[in-house]
């Protein structure tokens, strides 16, 4: 099947699936989600995604009662039905189905689980990216993986219109993250990255990257860096579950990075090794 949808127990071709109009995800984006990469029935860094998902549910006070084992079984059923060698696995939980009112619905909320599996071609590792910068106009809950992504959507669309792949948010002169990625630089042998506060999503791939740097004896500085530092960096690195580890070749049309090939290759190869070992590909 080309793409699979699952909603509260019903599975079918994604293009034929529907959700009720009064699911709170529809009119408030009142929910949280995860997005992972799967090969066959294996999901890369699944435990880390499940941990973050539980943190998001807690931050939003969504009483999602399905235990981890049952959720994993359901996700695996969807992957099995899709039967894809490589797929993007997405799931979200919304608070409830109820008439539109800002406050939580009265009584016991019944959260809705939605799952999508879509075929994915894993882009060749090391494919460089074109970036643009964009003002970070988001709120102060960027650490929670909520469905509220309008500034991210608009910034990524702007990147596309500029012939680029991704937008890098800048808040008060400092780089936070990308529209759907984390952003890091290598400078003088040190990997610099924004700390995990409320202005970035604590990326699963970011955490993996930091672990790999440790293994490669590359020191890490978790301190916000200025927008200018992107242009003087030895390398600008981008991470996400679906993209893996990439580097930037241009930002706002200006050539960047390419000055620390050796460390970049060490990091990239360490990531690919980790991916292959876990996914057995
Ligand atoms: N930052 C944002 C805003 C994201 O949406 C994402 C992924 O969707 C990331 C960072 C990267 O996170 P991860 O490595 O967990 O995919």
User: What is the per-residue pLDDT across 53-75, written as a single tens digit (0 to 9) for each?
Assistant: 999 999 999 999 999 999 999 99
Report the residue among 129, 194, 201 best suited for mutation to probe ligand 1: largest number of ligand atoms under 8 A from its CB. Answer: 201
The residue-averaged pLDDT of 119-134 equals: 90
pLDDT tier at 153 (50, 70, 90 boundaries)?
very high
Residues ≥6 apart with Cβ < 8 Å to 174: 194, 224, 225, 226, 227
Alpha carbon separation from 178 to 6, 203, 206 (Å, rounded): 29, 11, 12
Determine whether 178 is exposed, middle or buried from the number of CB atoms within 10 Å of its CB (0-12, 13-18, 19+): buried
Q: What is the pLDDT of residues 170-198, one digit of tens each?
A: 999 999 999 999 999 999 999 999 999 99
Ligand 1: centre distance to CA 181 (Å): 5
d(CA 212, CA 265): 12
Residue 127 vs residue 97, higher pLDDT? 97
What residues contact residue 54 under an 8 Å CB cut-off, 6+ apart?
none
Q: Order across the sheet with 10-13: list the strands.
A: 10-13, 4-7, 112-119, 87-94, 31-39, 42-43
Percent of the chain with pLDDT over 70: 100
In terms of C-beta density within 10 A (0-12 exposed, 13-18 middle, 19 or more buried), how is residue 220 classed? middle
Ligand 1 mean position to 89 CA, how many Å? 14
* Secondary structure class of 107 (helix, strand, coil): coil
Which residues sit with their C-beta closer than 6 Å to ligand 1? Answer: 35, 152, 177, 180-182, 201, 203-206, 239-241
The answer on pLDDT for 22 being more than 90 is: yes
β-pair type (112-119, 235-240): unpaired
Under 8 Å CB-to-CB from 2, ≥6 apart: which residues? 13, 14, 119
Question: How far apart are the C-alpha atoms of 126 and 61, rounded to whole Å?
Answer: 39
For 247, the token pair is 């580097």
Strand partners, 239: 182, 245
Helix %, strand %, coil % for the chain, to 5? Answer: 30, 30, 40
Write out the DSSP string of 54-73. Answer: HHHHHHTT------HHHHHH
Residue in this structure with the two tokens 């539109």, named with its chain if needed: 100
Segment 76-92 shows an average pLDDT of 97
Query: What's the pLDDT score for residue 1?
Result: 63
So where are the chain's domains?
4-119, 129-279
Strands (DSSP E) found in the chain: 4-7, 10-13, 31-39, 42-43, 87-94, 112-119, 129-135, 166-171, 174-178, 182-187, 190-193, 220-221, 235-240, 244-251, 254-255
Q: Which of 55, 182, 202 to mutate to test the pocket of ligand 1 (most atoms within 8 A of CB)?
A: 182
Which residue from 178, 180, 154 is spatially nearest to 236, judged by alpha carbons? 178
- 102/121 Cα distance (integer angstroms): 40
Confidence of residue 127 (pLDDT cuts 50, 70, 90): confident
Say if residue 104 is exposed, middle or buried (CB neighbours under 10 Å; 0-12, 13-18, 19+). middle
Q: What is the pTM of this model?
A: 0.98
129-279 has CATH 3.40.50.20 classification: no
CATH of 4-119, picked from 3.30.470.10, 1.25.40.10, 2.60.40.10, 3.40.50.10140, is: 3.30.470.10
Q: How far is the CA of 143 from the centre of ligand 1 (A)?
A: 10
């Amino acid at each position: 099947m080309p793409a699979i949808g699952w909603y509260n127990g019903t599975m079918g071709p994604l293009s034929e699936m529907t959700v009720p109009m009064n699911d709170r995800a529809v009119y408030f984006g009142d929910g949280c989600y995860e997005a992972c990469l799967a090969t066959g029935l294996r999901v890369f860094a699944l435990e880390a995604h499940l941990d973050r998902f539980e943190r998001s549910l807690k931050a939003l006070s969504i009483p999602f009662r399905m235990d981890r084992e049952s959720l994993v079984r359901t996700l695996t059923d969807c992957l099995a039905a899709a039967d894809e060698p490589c797929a993007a696995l997405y799931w979200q939980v919304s608070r409830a189905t109820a008439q539109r009112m800002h406050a939580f619905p009265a009584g016991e909320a019944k959260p809705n689980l939605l799952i999508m599996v879509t075929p994915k071609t894993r882009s060749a590792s090391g494919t460089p990216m074109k970036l643009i910068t964009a003002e970070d106009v988001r709120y102060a809950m960027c650490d929670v993986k909520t469905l509220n992504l309008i500034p991210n959507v608009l910034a990524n669309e702007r990147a596309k219109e500029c012939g680029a792949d991704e937008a890098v948010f800048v808040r008060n002169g400092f780089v936070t993250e990308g529209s759907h990625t984390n952003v890091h630089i290598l400078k003088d042998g040190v990997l610099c990255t924004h700390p995990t506060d409320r202005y970035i999503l604590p990326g699963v791939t970011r955490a993996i990257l930091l672990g790999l740097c440790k293994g490669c004896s590359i020191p890490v500085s978790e301190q916000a860096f200025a927008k200018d530092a992107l242009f003087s960096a030895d390398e600008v690195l981008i991470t996400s579950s679906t993209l893996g580890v990439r580097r930037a070749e241009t930002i706002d049309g200006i050539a960047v990075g390419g000055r620390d090939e050796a460390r970049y290759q060490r990091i990239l190869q360490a990531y690919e090794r980790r991916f292959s070992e876990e996914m057995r590909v």
